[in-house]
Amino acid sequence: MLDFSKDYVLENEVVKVSPLHIEHTKQLSEQSDDPDIWAYLLEEGRNTEQLQAYISQALENRKIAKEYPFVVYDKVKKQYAGTTRLYDYSNQLNVIKIGHTWYGRNFRGTGVNKHCKYLVLEFIFEQLQIERVGFGVHAENKVSIAAMKSVGGTKEGILRNFIPSVDGDGRTDIVLFSILKDEWTTFVKPKLLQKLNRKV
C-alpha cells in the first residue's frame, strides 16, 4: 500500500529518486528553462515563479493523497535532473500510474530515465505489490513514446482528441501504455537490467 505520508527514497549507483520539496525549486530551475520540456505538458514551469507554483501544486496533491511527486538526482553528474510522479493510485483496484516526468536537456539520452524508471517500477511491483502500472503519452511526443517502449511498456489503446495539440490548432490523442506485475517479473525487469548494465 502506498503511504503518502512516508518519505520513500530509491537509489542505485546512478540516480537517487526522493520526495520532491519546495526547496528543490532552485536546483530544478537550472533544468526547467527549456521549452521542449513543457511542449507536451499542460503545466508550465520555465521560470522560477512558474516552477515554484508547479512544485507547490504537486506537494498539495501529495497532502490529499492524489499524487506522490519525486525529484530525480543524477549521482554521476551530481545535479538534479528532473521530476516524476505516481498518481491515480487505487488501493482497492491495486493500480497506479507514472507520469509528469521531465528531465533537463543534459540528462536526456544518458540513461537517467531508464535508471529512474527501473527503481520506481521495482518499488511499485516489489515493495508495494501493485498489479498494474499505467502511462499516458501525448501522441505528438515521439521521444516519450519511444522511451515507453524501451522500458517495456505495452501499448494498449488511445484516448482520442484528449488534449490540445502542441501548436494549439485542434486536438490530439493520448497513447496509453501499461506494465503488469507478472510482465515485470518475467521479461520487463530482466530486459531493462540488461540495458542498464550496458550503460554502466
pLDDT (0 to 100) of residue 200? 47
For the segment 58-66, the average pLDDT, to the nearest whole number, is: 98
What CA dihedral angle connects 148, 60, 54 and 75, to 10 degrees?
A: -60
pLDDT digits (tens, 9 = 90+) for 13-37: 999 999 999 999 999 999 999 999 9
What are the pLDDT digits (tens) for 155-189?
A: 999 999 999 888 878 999 999 999 999 999 999 99
Strand order from edge to edge, sheet including 95-103: 10-11, 15-19, 67-74, 79-90, 95-103, 132-138, 171-180, 154-164
pLDDT, residue 199, reads 56
The span from the CA of 120 to the CA of 125, in Å, is 9
Q: What is the pLDDT of residue 166?
A: 86
Assigned C-alpha cell, 23? 526547496
For the chain, percent of residues with pLDDT exceeding 90? 90
The dotted CATH code for 10-199 is: 3.40.630.30
The 10 Å CB-count burial string (b at 16+, else e) for 164-196 is: eeeeeeeebbbbbbbbbbebbeeebbeebeeeb
Domain locations in the chain as residue ranges? 10-199
**pTM for this entry:** 0.95
